[in-house]
Amino acid sequence: MTDRAWDKLIQALPIVLAGPILRHVTAESVTVWVALKQPAEVELTIYETADRGTVLGTSVLQGRSPTVALGKSLHVVAVTAKSERNYLNSDRLYAYDLRFSFDDPQQSQKTLQQALQSIDFPTVSISYFAHQKPTFALPPHRLEDLRIVQGSCRKPHGGGYDALPILDSLIEDRAAQPQYRPHQLFLTGDQIYGDDVAEPFLWVASPLGDALLGWEEKLPMGWREPDDVEYYTPQQLPFGRRAEVATTQAGFTAGLHNKRGKVNSHLLSLGEYYACYLLAWSPTCWLMQVPPGRQISDRRQISRRWDREARALRQFIHTLWKVRRALANVATYTIFDDHDVSDDWNLNRAWCLRVLGRPLGRRTVQNALLAYAMFQAWGNTPEQFTAGQSGAKLLTAAADWSSSGGTDTVAYDRIARYVGMPIIDTQTNLPTFIEDGAVLILKRHPEAIAWHYTDTKSLS
């Protein structure tokens, strides 16, 4: 597809590309994450409910925040509602709503339902009630009454069916019962796969990422920046033919030991990592029809593999609406594992030297961590992204990097600092290590965001 065709496709999309996803929830505050195709001021309102969640009551918490421009057509926010007077209780159902305001005076304010809909998506269900507002319940006072759900390792073309839609059924069955419906969801790693990517998935994700950014990233190939490298755009590194680049140029280990097929479509660019999250959590951006394998290659082995992966993706997409609804209705907490970046990420010192000592390896890891921060970490610890904190500084740096079309090296270095990329020794071009007791760890900048966290307030 041409750039003009992609622009036309994005124009036809709803305002909301992914979300809303209910994130950090306590008695004092509620955070909701959402991704839009245009900038907006997002207002979050939390309501009491009556009659087993069917009737909306008075608003108890409110908050508003502007989106952050990750690209020309990608704007995200984790908006938090608070109150100094009101507190949420654990034995009740609450509902929430979002409203979107825009700078363009010709564009009217939108409700959540309006922002979710378009010609291709005339009806979107994100609620279990007639009022069409997402709902949730706080964890109960007694730990033995807590109902949590855990998931990990969600690969779209993995064997079998996607298990996450089961959560939608669990919530739907007990939606009106705050003491029995799931209270928290813990996604404990590999929410996306950066390495083992289906060829049809990258066929969609790579151009989608460029279109959302509004620019093409120049990925460094070589051994030392800025002199000993050449630059390639994502479209110059097509799906199904990235094994050599991922293994030799980036240094990734997932394709070693005769497993090159695992990295034939490895994510590399920032846009690809961004797009991967949107495609994993929402059906909205899956408007392109994946062609049959015979249109991709006249080699039977390649076309059959393509068709096999395409069938798995169609099944995955078929139930994405249930995943979207579930994530809107239960407090969701996440943490990465290795595949959110690449297989074996930071496994040992040898891996760190091999990958982080190469320009493309460093760039890809940094892209993955920036995407993780925007799509996962912000909702885990929203306090780290408030004014003056490292997360807020990262948001500014991410917007500056994108607005420059990937040329602002100062913004790039700031991103590296805040996502915790290891400090590189200028003499050896290798990452530096420091002692931490009896072991060596990568040396990070003191302003780096802390990815680990403990959830205690929601159970108080």
What would the pLDDT profile of 325-364 be if each residue is shown by its tens digit? 999 999 999 999 999 999 999 999 999 999 999 999 999 9
Q: pTM for the full model?
A: 0.97
Q: Rounded to whole angstroms, how far apart are CA atoms 210 and 273?
A: 11
Q: Report the relative pairing of strands 331-334 and 184-187 from DSSP bridges.
A: parallel
| Whether residue 460 has pLDDT greater than 60 | no
Q: Which residue has the tokens 């779209």?
A: 156
**What pLDDT, on the 0 to 100 scale, is given for residue 458?**
60
Structure tokens at 241: 């033919």
Residue type, 395: L
Percent composition of the chain: helix, strand, coil (DSSP 3-state, to 5): 35, 20, 45
Give phi and psi for 107, each to the nearest 5: -105, 120
> Region 371-377: what's the mean pLDDT?
98
Q: Which residue has the tokens 């796969």?
A: 193
Quick check: 313 and 201 in contact, CB under 8 A? yes
| Whether residue 459 has pLDDT greater than 60 | no
**What pLDDT, on the 0 to 100 scale, is given for residue 9?**
87
| Whether residue 18 has pLDDT greater than 70 | yes
**What pLDDT, on the 0 to 100 scale, is given for residue 59?**
94
Per the model's pLDDT, the better-predicted residue between 366 and 143 turns out to be 366
| Whether residue 457 has pLDDT greater than 70 | no
Per the model's pLDDT, the better-predicted residue between 101 and 108 turns out to be 101
Q: Rounded to whole angstroms, how far apart are CA atoms 249 and 223?
A: 8
Helix (H, G, I), strand (E, B) or coil at 56: strand
DSSP H/E element including 231: strand 228-232
pLDDT 10s digits, 199-241: 999 999 999 999 999 999 999 999 877 778 899 999 999 999 9
- The dihedral through the CA atoms of 200, 203, 208, 213 has a sign that is positive
| Whether residue 456 has pLDDT greater than 80 | no
**What pLDDT, on the 0 to 100 scale, is given for residue 1?**
65
Per the model's pLDDT, the better-predicted residue between 371 and 258 turns out to be 371
- The dihedral through the CA atoms of 279, 282, 287, 290 has a sign that is positive
**What pLDDT, on the 0 to 100 scale, is given for residue 228?**
85
User: pLDDT-derived band of residue 69, with 50, 70 and 90 as boundaries?
Assistant: very high
Q: Rounded to whole angstroms, how far apart are CA atoms 28 and 89?
A: 10
With a CB cutoff of 8 Å and minimum separation 6, the contacts of 252 are 195, 246, 263, 266, 342, 343, 344, 355, 361, 364
Q: Rounded to whole angstroms, how far apart are CA atoms 111 and 90?
A: 27
**What pLDDT, on the 0 to 100 scale, is given for residue 173?**
97
> Region 85-95: what's the mean pLDDT?
92
Q: Cis link prior to 20 (omega < 30° from 0)? A: yes
Quick check: 241 and 302 in contact, CB under 8 A? no
User: pLDDT-derived band of residue 321, with 50, 70 and 90 as boundaries?
Assistant: very high
User: pLDDT-derived band of residue 107, with 50, 70 and 90 as boundaries?
Assistant: confident
Of the chain, the percentage scoring pLDDT greater than 90 comes to 88
Q: Which residues pair with 439 in a beta bridge?
A: 436
Report the Cα 365 to chain-centroid distance in Å. Answer: 15
Distance between first and last Cα of the chain: 52
